Amino acid sequence: MTLSADRVVRTAAGHLILDGVSLDCAPGATIGLLGPNGAGKSTLLRVLAGLLPTSSGVVTLDGKPLPDTRRGEVARRVAVVEQQVDTQVDLSVLDVVRLGRIPHRRAWAAPTARDAEAVADALAATRLTDRAGQSWHTLSGGERQRVQLARALAQQPRELLLDEPTNHLDIAHQLDLLALVTALPTTTVIALHDLNLAAMYCDHVAVLRQGRVAAAGTPEEVFTEALIAEVYGVRTRITTPDGRLHIRFLGTAR
């Protein structure tokens, strides 16, 4: 058992953002959330993280409803990498990664050896060890994304939620980050725009459209020329050279 959403509805300021979304995550799997802009991907991730309440329906962690779970307990299980965060505070890479230990530390207590170890592991996994002293404000967009991922890893989560982590990254960094994330033993839910990358790295994908799940399953089951035309209004040619799904875009349907 891990994170799951059951018929989640979320309205904000009179708009229906999520309209009965159900999502089950297999433990250790990588689940891709896809769909056009405004389909509700980010909102679903925030609801899954317990950052937004549901209007109806329920999100459960190991079968226990999220609102009944203490925030600190959730944060020791679920880590979130948001889209593009920034700070006014003068922090080093190490300072940012250390924030990930906050849910594990007690008030008044100094960081323990376990905290230091988790931070060192997270820095090593994201190959940031020799950048630890660098100031956050001197980092590029891609480096900041990696630092936030390291912070999330320092939380030692079992569930990892990422909101379009490959935005603004060059292709090498995109592949690098996705390879790293999908190799983790965590259950990972990741909002993505690139269908080919989703097909390459996700065990499971769910395509959202106007707050509803238009299709869910393995990439091979979900990504069909008909579905992509219906959801995105885009004509495609889908082939499977050397057994791997390849989506070629031909143009908009108009």
Partner 1 sequence: MTRRALWSAAGLVLLAVSIALAITVGPADIAVVEVWRTVLAHLVQGERVLSPIRDGIIWHLRLPRTLLAAVCGAGLAVCGVVLQSLLRNPLADPFVLGVSSGASTGAVLVVVLGVGGGAVSLSAGAFAGAVLSFGLVLTLSHALGGQLDRVVLCGVAAMQLFSALTSFIVLTSADAETTRGVLFWLLGSLSSASWTEVAIAAAVLAVTLVVCLGHGRALDAFAFGEDSAAALGVPVARVRLALLCVTALLTAVLVSSSGAIGFVGLVLPHAARVFAGSGHARLLPASALAGAIFLVWVDTLARSVLQPQEIPVGVLTSLIGVPAFVLILYRTRSRR
Mark 223-233 as b/e (b = at least 16 C-beta within 10 Å): beeebbeebbe
Question: Minimum distance from CB of 67 to partner 1 (Å)?
Answer: 12
Q: Residue 71, interface with partner 1 (CB under 8 A)?
A: yes
**Which DSSP helix (H) or strand (E) runs through 243?**
none
Q: Which of 21, 44, 48, 79 binds partner 1 (CB under 8 A)?
A: 79
CB of 152 to partner 1, least distance (A): 9
Is residue 95 at the binding interface for partner 1, with CB under 8 A as the rule? yes
Give dist(CA 79, CA 148) in Å, integer.
Answer: 10
Structure tokens at 107: 């008030």
- Residues in the interface with partner 1 (CB under 8 A) total 36
Instruction: Assess 134 for contact with partner 1 (CB under 8 A).
Output: no
**Distance of alpha carbon 93 from its chain centroid, rounded?**
21
Burial of 60 (0-12, 13-18, 19+ CB in 10 A): middle
- Minimum CB distance to partner 1, residue 180 (Å): 20
Distance CA 100, CA 106 (A): 13
Q: Given its phi and psi angles, is residue 189 left (phi above 0), alpha (psi -120 to 50 degrees) or beta?
A: beta
> Which stretch, 58-66, 134-142, 201-209, 234-242, contacts partner 1 (CB under 8 A)?
134-142
Residue 217 exposure: Cα atoms within 13 Å on the Cβ side: 8
Q: Report how far apart, in Å, the C-alpha atoms of 45 and of each of 3, 9, 41, 140, 234 are.
A: 11, 13, 6, 25, 25
Sole binder of partner 1 in the list 37, 63, 68, 110 (CB under 8 A): 110
Residue carrying structure tokens 């880590």: 79
Minimum CB separation from partner 1 for residue 119, in Å?
A: 13
Determine which residue in the list 112, 135, 240, 252 makes contact with partner 1, applying CB under 8 A.
135
Whose Cβ is closer to partner 1: residue 51's or residue 197's? 51
Closer of 20 and 136 to partner 1 (Cβ)? 136
DSSP annotation of 111 reads P
| 62 in contact with partner 1 (CB under 8 A) | no
**What is the closest distance, in whole angstroms, from the C-beta atom of residue 238 to partner 1 in the complex?**
36
Interacting residues with partner 1 (CB under 8 A)? 46, 49-51, 70-76, 78-80, 82, 85-91, 95-96, 99-100, 102-103, 105, 107-108, 110, 135, 137-138, 155
